[in-house]
Amino acid sequence: MLVSKLPNVGTTIFTRMSQLALETGAINLSQGFPDFDGPQALREAVARHVMDGRNQYSPMTGLPSLRQQVAAKLARSYSVQRDADSEITITPGATEAIFCAVQALIRAGDEAIVLDPCYDSYEPSVELAGGRCVHVPLALPDFAVDWQRLADAIGPRTRLIFLNSPHNPSGALLSRADLDKLAELIRGRDIHVISDEVYEHLIYDGQRHASVLAHDELYQRAFVVSSFGKTYHVTGWKTGYVVAPPALTAELRKIHQYVNFCGVTPLQFGLADFMAAHPEHVEELPAFYQTKRDLFCGLLADSRFTFSRAPGTYFQLADYSAIRPDLDDVAMAEWLTREHGVAAIPVSVFYQSAPQDMRLVRFCFAKREDTLREAAEKLCAV
């Protein structure tokens, strides 16, 4: 009889809620994907490359022209010079990049620290490598790092710390001061960092992203992961990248080549073309998504939900304590979907052990204006 390597893992909440939205005809503000398409010029570029016959394997490390465009973007965004050949790897999605980075770092008996609430792929990746996760809750209500609790969680087996900023599900941001504190905390220890920065360009109200890429000390022991899908509104393309110092990149590539040898070739050609022709796309993203956030939050102002506007990502948390305090957040998400026609994600699923009194759900505002207006109307009627 087969014994599961992941006995506690079932179908993800994202799949479940999207399926429930489909079954009930609810507006899907649960899973994090836009209901609008990526830029026309990007889609046309991919179609052109498909028709031009660029449909065979690309290099295992990623198309050279795309890696060069990533390096150019990093230079513009963070004033850093990262070598396209030895430090940048294109991957079929950020999740695969995270998985390969974990496999490169974690051995049997090692520990990895995750900051709850955290994205659901981190812990299974660690467990499949023979390690275990130590969960450290972020401090509420702002989802800030509790530095004393993090320091207390570090032990002789700690090998890895996960960062995620802008943070899914809360939208919270790490500051440069936070990165400095982490560098001081792990200085002189054999501890690495995986920094999940897939929402790096979705930051609002004039704030700037504090990337590990621009922190020289942390970068020397880090894998920094990002996503073309989030940046260019094409999540279904499952194309991402990871940036790391040459020695770490070499170890990641050893694993990547046996997990998924290369990304989809015409997508890489199209992305490289679009990035070269439209570097302004990245600079325009904060205003583009802040407009959607402000519209959605403004429309919810007259509802019984309470919230603070998310500083980053395309997710908005909302507290429903004034509506159905008798329901836990999983039951609340299902109730909203079935009875009020709007699907959300419960925040407790991002925790090992969520606070008992937490009454938060997550809405995705990466939607067309008419979608947000219809959803808000339904939510205001709750």
Domain end, chosen from 278, 303, 332, is at 278
Residue 1 placed within a domain: no
Closest alpha carbon to 285 in 243, 238, 227: 227
Assign residue 81 the CATH number of its domain: 3.40.640.10
CB 169 within 8 A of CB 315: yes
Q: What is the pLDDT of residue 11?
A: 80
Cis, bond preceding 266 (omega within 30 deg of 0): no
Number of domains in the chain: 2
pLDDT digits (tens, 9 = 90+) for 37-83: 999 999 999 999 999 999 999 999 999 999 999 999 999 999 999 99
pLDDT band at 14 (very low <50, low <70, confident <90, very high): confident
The values of phi and psi at residue 338, to 5°, are: -75, -40
Mean pLDDT for 105-132 is 97
Q: 320 and 265 share a domain?
A: no
Q: Which residue has the tokens 């439209």?
A: 278
**pLDDT cut 70: percent of the chain above it:** 100
Q: 326 and 188 share a domain?
A: no
Q: 199 and 242 share a domain?
A: yes
Q: 70 and 152 share a domain?
A: yes
Using the predicted structure, report yes or no on whether residue 266 has a pLDDT greater than 90: yes
Rg (CA), the chain: 20
What's the distance, CA 239 to chain centroid? Answer: 13
Residue 3 placed within a domain: no
Its domain, for residue 118, covers 40-278
Closest alpha carbon to 14 in 364, 307, 279: 364
What's the distance, CA 264 to chain centroid? Answer: 20
Residue 164 placed within a domain: yes
Q: Taking the model in full, what pTM does it have?
A: 0.96
Question: Which of 20-24, 161-165, 269-273 is predicted least confidently?
Answer: 20-24
Q: How many residues does the chain have?
A: 382
Residue 7 placed within a domain: no
Q: What is the pLDDT of residue 8?
A: 85
Residue 6 placed within a domain: no
Closest alpha carbon to 46 in 228, 207, 199: 228
Q: 183 and 107 share a domain?
A: yes
Domain end, chosen from 244, 278, 312, is at 278
Residue 8 placed within a domain: no
Q: 187 and 245 share a domain?
A: yes
Residue 320 placed within a domain: yes
Q: 227 and 200 share a domain?
A: yes
Q: 302 and 363 share a domain?
A: yes
pLDDT digits (tens, 9 = 90+) for 171-194: 999 999 999 999 999 999 999 999
Rounded-to-integer distance, Cα 121 and Cα 323, Å: 31
Q: 177 and 235 share a domain?
A: yes
pLDDT band at 87 (very low <50, low <70, confident <90, very high): very high
Indicate the average pLDDT of the chain.
97
Using the predicted structure, report yes or no on whether residue 207 has a pLDDT greater than 90: yes
Q: 172 and 131 share a domain?
A: yes
pLDDT digits (tens, 9 = 90+) for 208-236: 999 999 999 999 999 999 999 999 999 99
Mean pLDDT for 129-149 is 97
Closest alpha carbon to 99 in 124, 132, 116: 124
Q: What is the pLDDT of residue 63?
A: 98
Rounded-to-integer distance, Cα 255 and Cα 122, Å: 17
Q: Which residues contact 253 (CB under 8 A, 6 or more apart)?
A: 60, 61, 89
Q: Which residue has the tokens 């939205």?
A: 21
Residue 374 vs residues 26, 28, 266: alpha-carbon distances, Å: 11, 11, 36
Q: 235 and 148 share a domain?
A: yes
Domain end, chosen from 218, 248, 278, is at 278
Assign residue 317 the CATH number of its domain: 3.90.1150.10
**146, two tokens:** 């509790």
Q: 271 and 291 share a domain?
A: no
Closest alpha carbon to 270 in 86, 65, 91, 74: 65
Q: What is the pLDDT of residue 115?
A: 98
